[in-house]
Structure 1
Amino acid sequence: MQTYEQTVFQLILHGGNGRSYAMEAITAAKKGEFAEARRLLEQAGAELQAAHGLQTALLQQEASGGQPVVTLLMVHAQDHLMTAITVKDLAAEFVELYEALKRQTTES
């Protein structure tokens, strides 16, 4: 069983990985590499899903009577995760936008 601090660091790790994959997806889409962009978005989603699982476990622990430990590190982890989720959502929109622009320029 991992410690609270290890769980918090795992949240930061998975959130950061998810954000990085999402940013790489935008870069791939900008280059016209749409299959790669979608693959990277899937990886981002997998990382964020792993983080969400950790977050859910912490919430369940609190709901079952455990006292929450709110440290600056946990606040940072939550902020990191929420930012990563937002970046991933926006990256998906950017990939779609770049793909639509590519279609328009090739159809013209």
Structure 2
Amino acid sequence: MNKEELTMISFEIVSYAGDARSKLLLALEKAKQGLFEECDALIAAANECLVSAHNAQMDVMQAEANGQDVEMGFIMVHAQDHLMTSLLFKDIIGSLIDVYRK
């Protein structure tokens, strides 16, 4: 995997993770308003984004596992940071939404 390919995958991960984060914030706002069907739809959409980000990440991991040299640069580190914080954010937002459901 060359550096350009890795950079493109990195930006893909950042994009999907950021989109998921935005959808989760909107879901929380909908929960505050008592609009739980819209909230649930946004959570489902966020989960799809996170799956897409994870799949892009797996492409890199599979390339490395298959013996390809994968030069990790700052952009990939940034992408990993975005993905991991979005996954954590999903858990936190889920707990907050549960409070509004009660």
- 8 Å CA contact 2:17–2:53 kept in 1: the answer is yes
SS of alignment partner, residue 34 of structure 2: coil
Q: Tell which structure's C-alpha radius of gyration is larger.
A: 1
SS of alignment partner, residue 66 of structure 1: coil
**Mapping of residues 88-107 of structure 1, within 5 Å:** 88-100=90-102
Residue-pair matches, total: 99
Which whole-Å deviations, capped at 9, do the CAs of 1:26-45 have from their partners, x for residues lacking one?
11101111111111100100
Q: What is the match of residue 50 of structure 1?
A: 52
Q: What is the match of residue 24 of structure 2?
A: 22
- In structure 1, runs of 5+ residues without a counterpart are 101-108
- In structure 2, runs of 5+ residues without a counterpart are none
Kindly state the Cα deviation for residue 3 of structure 1 after the two structures are TM-superposed. Answer: 2.0
- 8 Å CA contact 1:62–1:68 kept in 2: the answer is yes
* Matches of 2:57 and 2:101, distance apart in 1: 33
TM-score computed with the length of structure 2 as normaliser: 0.92
* Matches of 1:29 and 1:69, distance apart in 2: 42
**Mapping of residues 17-96 of structure 1, within 5 Å:** 17-96=19-98
Identical-pair percentage: 33
Which whole-Å deviations, capped at 9, do the CAs of 1:69-100 have from their partners, x for residues lacking one?
11111110000010111111211111111001
- 8 Å CA contact 2:6–2:76 kept in 1: the answer is no
Q: Counterpart amino acid of 1:41?
A: I
- 8 Å CA contact 2:20–2:45 kept in 1: the answer is yes
Q: What is the match of residue 12 of structure 1?
A: 14
TM-score computed with the length of structure 1 as normaliser: 0.87
List, as ranges, runs of 4+ consecutive aligned residues in structure 1 with deviation greater than 4 Å: none
